[in-house]
Structure 1
Amino acid sequence: MNDALQDNPADLTEYLSFRIGAQEYTVDIMSVREIRGWTEATPLPHAPSYVRGVINLRGTVLPIIDLAARLGLPPDTDNDRSVVIVVQHNSETVGLLVDAVSDILTIARADLQTPPDMAADNQHRFVSALIIENERMIRVLDLNNTLTTTENQAA
């Protein structure tokens, strides 16, 4: 079976995995532009609570999203090991503040599992698939829903 997957690399996708607290998430590596250490962001008035502020990234103003706050997870104390994953989705480039980058995973599309439909699960809209890798349950982050703020405006 594995030989068939190796023969057809179009069925494989690489993901960057990272930690938020004890939970592990991934994003498609093709959306990742760079990984940088945490630097203090300049807060903006009236920004959503999960937006830490903005930083200067080589002359570009880059918004920083605290991913734990965005996903409704308990806040982790800032530490020197926090990192910013700079991602681009559609025409938007943002920084995602996470606790640590873990690994690069190569996953067959057939191994992506649909998350259960749980209406009360507030995080479900941010997770597009689940990966089971070596006894770990890893969530695939849906960047479209994570970076969209229209649900806040509609509420």
Structure 2
Amino acid sequence: MPTAIHSAPIDQRIEWLMELSRTHSALYCDPENSLARQRYLAEHPTRIIALKCMDGRIHLPYATKTPLGIVSPFRNLGGIFDLGWPYMGDLLESQVMEAIQQGHRVLIIITYHFSKGDRSRGCAGFNCDKDAAMAHAHQIREQVEAIFGHGHKTVYPLVCGFETDEDA
């Protein structure tokens, strides 16, 4: 893999993504990793939900050092969500209520991403505008608080920005 995959020819980028997908699939299906997932869920009383961009540049298991399959992702172009969307609100509420009924708290990671090296590698959903992406993430946080409360004792919305050039 070239050091700067984003500047490699398209066929190399596609093959790199396909190989990464095969690797992740094999890891996820591995019996040892399946057991590690179950153990992790039993040991940690918090369920993790992530609202994120659909382009795949944010790899939360890597960033959080959690086994594959722990983070429940919701994806949309640019991570643009509105909890007032009929089905979106129902899906999120269902996941939160399921966790609560099992006695768990919920961490909702609301993400945005940007490139420090070249603005054009930022999030296309926000026309590569980091400030717009961050502002939207904070709006989603406000929606989560309006629905689940501001005390954060059961549901904690956390806004996280990711600089994708250096996985920071």
User: What's the TM-score, normalizing by structure 2?
Assistant: 0.22
Decide which structure has greater strand share: 1
Higher relative contact order (CA 8 A, sep 6+): 1
User: What's the TM-score, normalizing by structure 1?
Assistant: 0.23
